[in-house]
Amino acid sequence: MPNKLLPHPIYCDIFCVVVDNYGDAGVCWRLARQLAEEYDWQVRLWIDKPTLLDWLAPDHAQSPVTIVPWPDDLSPDESIDSPADVVIEAFACELPATYVAAMAQREKKPVWLNLEYLSAENWIGELHGKPSPHPRLPLVKHFFFPGFDECSGGLLREADYDQRRLAFDATAFRSEFGLPKKAPHEITLSLFSYPTAPTAQLMQALAHAEHPIRLLLPGSNRATVTQGALTVQSLPFLPQVRYDELLWMCDLNFVRGEDSFVRAQWAGKPFVWQIYPQADDAHRVKLEAFLARFIQKVGAGETVNTSAMATMNTFWHAWNNAGTLNWPAFAATLPVLTAVTQRWSAALARQPNLARNLVQFCIERLK
């Protein structure tokens, strides 16, 4: 949906300070690329670790997005001639003072957004889109919250996502990465986690599983190892588009943070989320909020296997270091979880995506 309402191109600057390794860069890159490719915005991505994009999007140099190293190349004394029409500070990173001053000098003030972290908590709907006037300058910042319902900004999802998923060839993917043909009753898992995850406990449980299990570790270089029912096999680091394919191929995906968490939901396969740990266990509130929303949504209007949902809840908490992993019980729920996750994914896809919501929000304020 390119802009048809304004007489000139829309210029957008996105500022990103990488805190969570790949996640922050991944979210910002997805948004920048979607705004540029699907809406014809002129986008600059200011990022303090631009080399991460060489891994996440090796073809980024061929995209219409301009990558700007930040903040090293913007000294306090450097002037800014042309701040953008739309300025997005990702995850409450602090903009350079010179850039903010230049924003205030514009006759037509920019639309200034704070793109917040994703949460399923109900209160985000109350704050989404709300203004926050600058204490000294004639500028207003708006909070923009990703989320799971119409009261939020939505989730990032590219226009060609379904087309890519339907064209995906799992057999070719396995052949490309040296994965053997799937054995009868084999469960294929992908694992992307923080160091605090109880991976040793998981692997011990998988080794004693009733059916063969192949555990794939993207971005790892360890040798292939088989112990009991479990075979652990490394994959190279996968760029974003190839990581989507891994999620589509697997029967169960262990994901972390925000970016891979969202991609697992679009994949429509059962997943286990490790939330980014926060002080005072603040992350557990967010974990509970998502689980409550997920279970409520997939159960709307029909009977849900409450035992399977309870098992999922217990396993997720254990994966976040609150309990003991019960793999046999969780594995037995996978057929149910496959169906409910597909229903969840389809419901999310019927809502406008984050980029579309953001574009509409900004255009209304740029008229």
pLDDT at 29: 97
Has residue 1 got a pLDDT over 80? Answer: no
* Whether residue 108 is found in the same domain as residue 134: yes
- 291 by Cβ neighbours in 10 Å (0-12 / 13-18 / 19+) ranks as middle
The answer as to whether 5 is a domain residue is no
* Whether residue 186 is found in the same domain as residue 313: yes
Has residue 73 got a pLDDT over 60? Answer: no
Catalytic residue, from 24, 116, 244, 259: name it.
24
What is the mean predicted confidence (pLDDT) over 304-309?
82
The answer as to whether 6 is a domain residue is no
What is the mean predicted confidence (pLDDT) over 83-106?
94
The residue whose two tokens read 């969780």 is 330
* Whether residue 18 is found in the same domain as residue 143: yes
Has residue 333 got a pLDDT over 60? Answer: yes
Q: What is the share, in percent, of the chain residues with pLDDT greater than 90?
A: 84
C-alpha–C-alpha distance, residues 244 and 158, integer Å = 12
* Whether residue 22 is found in the same domain as residue 57: yes
Catalytic residue, from 13, 251, 258, 259: name it.
258
The answer as to whether 345 is a domain residue is yes
DSSP line for 29-78 = HHHHHHHHHHH--EEEEEES-TTHHHHH-TTGGGSSPEEEE-STT--TT-
Q: What is the share, in percent, of the chain residues with pLDDT greater than 70?
A: 93
Residue 359's CB is within 10 A of a number of other CB atoms, namely: 23
DSSP state, residue 188: E
C-alpha–C-alpha distance, residues 169 and 231, integer Å = 23
Give the SS3 label for residue 157: coil
pLDDT at 80: 59
Has residue 217 got a pLDDT over 80? Answer: yes
Mean pLDDT of the chain: 92
Contact predicate 153/354, CB 8 Å = yes
CA-wise closest residue to 11 among 94, 146, 137, 102: 102
What is the mean predicted confidence (pLDDT) over 180-192?
96
* Domain encompassing residue 308: 161-349
The answer as to whether 2 is a domain residue is no
Tell me the pLDDT tens digit for each residue of 241-262: 999 999 999 999 999 999 999 9
* Whether residue 107 is found in the same domain as residue 166: no
C-alpha–C-alpha distance, residues 45 and 33, integer Å = 9
| Confidence grade of residue 306 (pLDDT, cut at 50, 70, 90) | confident
Has residue 300 got a pLDDT over 80? Answer: no
Tell me the pLDDT tens digit for each residue of 122-168: 999 999 999 999 999 999 999 999 999 999 999 999 999 999 999 99
What is the mean predicted confidence (pLDDT) over 282-308?
81
Residues in the chain: 367
* Whether residue 324 is found in the same domain as residue 238: yes
* Whether residue 39 is found in the same domain as residue 49: yes
Has residue 86 got a pLDDT over 70? Answer: yes
Tell me the pLDDT tens digit for each residue of 195-214: 999 999 999 999 999 999 99
The answer as to whether 3 is a domain residue is no
258 in active site: yes
pLDDT at 85: 97
Tell me the pLDDT tens digit for each residue of 96-134: 999 999 999 999 999 999 999 999 999 999 999 999 999
Q: Where are the beta strands (DSSP E) in the chain?
A: 11-16, 42-47, 66-69, 86-90, 111-115, 131-133, 140-144, 187-191, 213-218, 225-227, 230-235, 252-256, 271-274
* Whether residue 182 is found in the same domain as residue 312: yes
* Whether residue 143 is found in the same domain as residue 185: no
| Confidence grade of residue 220 (pLDDT, cut at 50, 70, 90) | very high
For the domain that residue 98 is a member of, what is the CATH number?
Answer: 3.40.50
Token representation of residue 143: 């909070």
How many domains does one find in the chain? 2
* Whether residue 226 is found in the same domain as residue 356: no
pLDDT at 303: 56
pLDDT at 22: 82
pLDDT at 259: 95
pLDDT at 359: 97
Residue 324's CB is within 10 A of a number of other CB atoms, namely: 10
Backbone angles phi, psi at 47, to 5 degrees: -140, 140
Tell me the pLDDT tens digit for each residue of 17-51: 988 668 899 999 999 999 999 999 999 999 999 99
C-alpha–C-alpha distance, residues 115 and 11, integer Å = 17
Q: What is the pTM of this model?
A: 0.94
Has residue 71 got a pLDDT over 90? Answer: no
* Whether residue 241 is found in the same domain as residue 128: no
